Structure 1
Amino acid sequence: MKKHPQAYLSLPITDIKPFYDVVVIGSGYGGSIAASRLARAGLKVGLLERGKEYQPGDYPDDQVQATKEMQVNMPHKHLGSTTALYEFHVNKDINVFVGCGLGGTSLVNANVCIEPDRRVFADEAWPLEIREDFASFDRGVERARAMLKPERYPEGKNGYPKLPKTEAMKVAAKALNEPFTFAPINVTFENKINHVGVEQHKCDLCGDCVTGCNYGAKNTTLMNYLPDARNHGAEIFTEVAVQHLERINNQWVIYYRLQEAGREKFKAPFLFVRANMVILGAGSLGSTEILLKSKQNGLQLSNLLGHRFTGNGDVLGFGFNNDYEINGVGFGKHKPGEEIEAVGPCIGGIIDMRGKENLEEGYVIEEGVIPGALSGILPGTFITVARLLGKDTDANLKDFAMEKLRKIKTKILGAYEGALKNTLTYLVMSHDDGKGKLSLAHDRIRVDWPAVGKQPIFKIVNDKLKEATKALGGTYVTNPSWSKAMNFDLVTVHPLGGCVMGDKAETGVVNHAGQVYASETGTDLHQGLYVTDGAIIPRSVGVNPLLTISALAERSCEIIAQDYGLTISYDFPAVTPQEKKIKPVGLQFTETMTGYFSTEEKDDFQKGHDAGKNKNSPFTFTLTIVSEDLEKMLNSEQHEAKMAGTVTAPALSPKPLTISEGKFNLFVKDKQDPGKLKMLYQMKLHTVGGHEYFFTGYKEAADDKGFDVWSDTSTLFITVYEGPDSSGPVTGKGILKILPKDFKKQVTTIKALHAADVLESAKAIKDFGLFFSKALYQQYL
Structure 2
Amino acid sequence: MTDPRRRDVLGLAAKGALAGIAGAGIGRSGGGAALAAAASRTHFRALVIGSGFGGSVAALRLGRAGVDTLVVERGREWPVLPARPLFGSPTRITDTMFWFRRTTRWPGMLPVPVTPAPGVMELSEERDLDIACAAAVGGGSVVYTGVTIAPPRRFFERLYPSGLPYDEFTGKWFPTVRAMLRAAPMPRDVYDSAPFTHSRLWDRQLAHARMTTRPADSTFDWHVVRQELARTLPPSATIGESDFGCGTGAKRDLTRTYLPAALATGHVRLRALHEVRSVGRRRDGGYSVVVRRLGEDGATLGTTEFTCDMLFLAAGALNTNRLLVAAREEGRLPDLPDTVGTGFGDNGDQVNLRSQPLEPIGPAQGSPCASTAFLPTGFGLPIRVENWVLPGFASLPATATFAMTVDTDHRGSFRYDPSSRRVVLADWTREKSAAAARAVLAFSARVVEANPGTLPVTVNTLHPFTGHPVGGCVIGRSTDLEGRVKGCAGLYVVDGSLLPGNVGGANPSLTIAAIAERALAGIVAAGG
TM-score range, shorter chain: 0.7 to 0.9
Deviation at 1:34, TM superposition (A): 0.6
CA distance in 2, matches of 1:28, 1:532: 10
Work out the CA distance in 1 between the residues paired with 2:193 and 2:171: 32
Q: Relative to structure 1, is the Cα distance of residues 55 and 140 closer, same or farther in structure 2, using a 3 angstrom cutoff?
A: same
The amino acid that maps onto 1:493 is G
Task: Write the mapping of 1:175-254 to structure 2, written as runs, cut at 5 A.
Answer: 175-190=208-223, 205-233=238-266, 234-248=268-282, 249-254=284-289
The answer to whether the Cα contact below 8 Å between 2:124 and 2:130 also exists between their aligned partners in 1 is yes
Residue 324 of structure 1 contacts residue 472 of structure 1 at CA under 8 Å; is this kept in 2?
no
Change in CA separation of 1:479 and 1:262 when aligned onto 2, cut-off 3 Å: closer
Distance 1:219 1:445, change over 3 A: farther
Per the TM alignment, residue 176 of structure 1 is displaced from its structure 2 partner at its CA by 2.0
SS state at 1:461 partner:
helix
Give the Cα separation in 1 of the matches to 2:93 and 2:237.
21
The partner residue of 1:451 within 430, 433, 436 is: 430
Change (3 A) 1:456 1:203: closer
User: Aligned AA for 1:456?
Assistant: A
Q: Aligned pair in 2 of structure 1 residues 69, 157: CA closer, same or farther (>3 Å)?
A: closer
After TM superposition, the structure 1 = structure 2 runs for residues 282-321 of structure 1, keeping only pairs within 5 Å, are 282-295=315-328, 296-299=330-333, 300-321=335-356
Query: Could you give the per-residue CA deviations for residues 728-780 of structure 1, whole angstroms, max 9, x where no partner exists?
Result: xxxxxxxxxxxxxxxxxxxxxxxxxxxxxxxxxxxxxxxxxxxxxxxxxxxxx
Per-residue deviation, 1:284: 0.4
Residue 22 of structure 1 pairs with residue 53 of structure 2: no
> Which one of 505, 520, 527 corresponds to residue 557 of structure 1?
520
Q: Secondary structure at the match of 2:525?
A: helix
Contact 1:307 1:497 in 2 (8 A): yes
Does the 8 Å contact 1:71/1:79 carry over to 2? no
> In the superposition, relative to structure 1, how do residues 262 and 115 fare at CA in structure 2: closer, same or farther (>3 Å)?
closer
Matched with 2:357 is 322
Q: Is contact 2:341–2:473 with CA below 8 Å preserved after alignment? A: yes
Partner secondary structure for residue 172 of structure 2 = helix
Partners of 1:110 and 1:274 lie apart in 2 by 35
Q: Tell me the secondary structure at the aligned position of residue 219 of structure 1.
A: coil
Name the SS of the counterpart of 1:542 in structure 2. Answer: coil
Query: Normalising to structure 2: TM-score of the pair?
Result: 0.81
Larger mean CA deviation between 56-65 and 288-297 belongs to: 56-65
Give, in angstroms, the shift of residue 312 of structure 1.
0.4
Distance 2:74 2:208 in 1: 46
Distance 2:448 2:216 in 1: 21
Deviation at 1:160, TM superposition (A): 5.5
User: Distance between the aligned counterparts of 1:37 and 1:492, measured in 2?
Assistant: 30
The structure whose Rg is larger is 1
Q: Which runs of 4+ in 1 moved over 4 A?
A: 61-65, 157-162, 200-204, 260-266
In structure 2, relative to structure 1, the CA distance for the partners of 1:510 and 1:434 (3 Å cut) is farther
Equivalent position of 1:346 in the other structure: 368
Alignment of 1:340-739 (within 5 A): 343-354=365-376, 356=377, 361-371=381-391, 416=395, 420=396, 422-432=397-407, 433-441=409-417, 442-447=420-425, 448-453=427-432, 455-470=434-449, 471=451, 473-481=453-461, 489-502=463-476, 508-518=477-487, 526-540=488-502, 541-564=504-527
Q: Residues 242-281 of structure 1 correspond to what in structure 2 (within 5 A)?
A: 242-248=276-282, 249-260=284-295, 270-281=303-314
- When residues 160 and 439 of structure 1 are mapped into structure 2, their CA distance, relative to the original with a 3 A threshold, is same
Deviation at 1:264, TM superposition (A): 9.5
- 5 Å-filtered alignment, 1:90-169, equals 90-123=125-158, 126-130=160-164, 132=165, 134-135=167-168, 138-156=171-189, 163-169=196-202
Secondary structure of residue in 1 paired with 2:126: coil
Alpha-carbon distance in 1 for matches of 2:473, 2:79:
31
Q: Can you list the C-alpha shifts for 1:656-705, whole angstroms capped at 9, x where unaligned?
A: xxxxxxxxxxxxxxxxxxxxxxxxxxxxxxxxxxxxxxxxxxxxxxxxxx
Corresponding residue number in structure 1 for 2:105: none
Q: Distance in 1 between matches of 2:191 and 2:211?
A: 29
Partner of 2:12: none
Over the aligned positions, Cα root-mean-square deviation in angstroms equals 3.2
> Are residues 293 and 535 of structure 1, via their aligned partners in 2, closer, same or farther at CA, if it must alter by over 3 Å?
same
C-alpha deviation, 1:435, in angstroms: 1.2
**Other structure's SS at 2:240 match:** coil
SS of 2:130's partner is: strand
Q: Indicate the residue corresponding to 2:108 in structure 1.
A: none
Q: Percent identity over the alignment?
A: 24
- CA 1:238–1:452: 2 relative to 1, 3 Å: farther
* Counterpart for residue 54 of structure 1: 78
Deviations 1:318-372 (A, max 9, x none): 113532223474xxxxxxxxxxxxx334311123213x399x721121121223x
Q: Note the residue ranges of structure 2 that are not aligned, 5 or more in a row.
A: 1-15, 27-34, 103-112, 226-232
Q: Is the 8 A contact 1:201 1:217 kept in 2?
A: no
Secondary structure of 2:490's partner?
strand
**Cα shift at 1:494:** 0.5
Superposition deviation, residue 250 in structure 1: 2.4
1:430 & 1:156 partners in 2: Cα distance?
31
Report the secondary structure of 2:308's partner residue. Answer: strand
State how far apart, in whole Å, the 2-side matches of 1:328 and 1:463 are: 29
Instruction: Determine which of 4, 22, 27 is the counterpart of 1:10.
Output: 22
* Corresponding residue number in structure 2 for 1:33: 57
Distance in 2 (CA, whole Å) between partners of 1:133 and 1:61 is 38
Higher relative contact order (CA 8 A, sep 6+): 2
Q: Counterpart of 1:730?
A: none
Going from structure 1 to structure 2, the CA distance change for 1:551 and 1:476 (only over 3 Å counts) comes to same
Query: By how many angstroms is 1:53 displaced?
Result: 0.7
Change beyond 3 A, Cα 1:53–1:469: farther
- The range that moved more, 90-99 or 257-266, is 257-266
Counterpart of 2:509, as a letter, is L
Q: Against the structure 1 CA distance between its residues 160 and 303, is the aligned structure 2 distance closer, same or farther, given a 3 Å change threshold?
A: same
Cα 1:305–1:201, aligned 2, differ >3 Å: closer, same or farther?
farther
Q: Deviations over 1:391-435 (max 9, x none)?
A: xxxxxxxxxxxxxxxxxxxxxxxx64xxx1x11111001123241
SS at match of 1:172: helix
C-alpha contact 1:516 1:531 (8 A) present in aligned 2: yes
Report the equivalent of 1:579. Answer: none
Give me the whole-angstrom Cα distance separating, in 2, the residues matched to 1:62 and 1:176.
31
Decide whether the 8 Å contact of 1:190 with 1:202 is kept in 2.
no
CA–CA distance in structure 1, aligned partners of residues 147 and 342 of structure 2:
27
Q: Deviations over 1:543-563 (max 9, x none)?
A: 111111110011011111111
TM-score (norm 1): 0.56
Structure 1 pair 54–265 and aligned structure 2 pair: CA distance change class (3 A): closer
Q: Distance in 2 between matches of 1:101 and 1:454?
A: 28
CA drift at 1:27: 0.8
Identify the structure with the greater strand proportion. 1
Structure 1 unpaired stretches of 5+: 193-199, 330-342, 379-414, 503-507, 519-525, 566-781
Q: Distance in 1 between matches of 2:217 and 2:140?
A: 18
**CA-CA distance at 1:61 after TM superposition:** 5.4
Q: Whole-Å Cα distance in 2 between the matches of residues 65 and 314 of structure 1? A: 24
CA contact (8 A) 2:122 2:133 kept: yes
Is the alpha carbon distance of 1:472 and 1:254 closer, same or farther for their aligned partners in structure 2, counting shifts above 3 Å? farther
Counterpart Cα distance in 2 of 1:498 and 1:218: 29
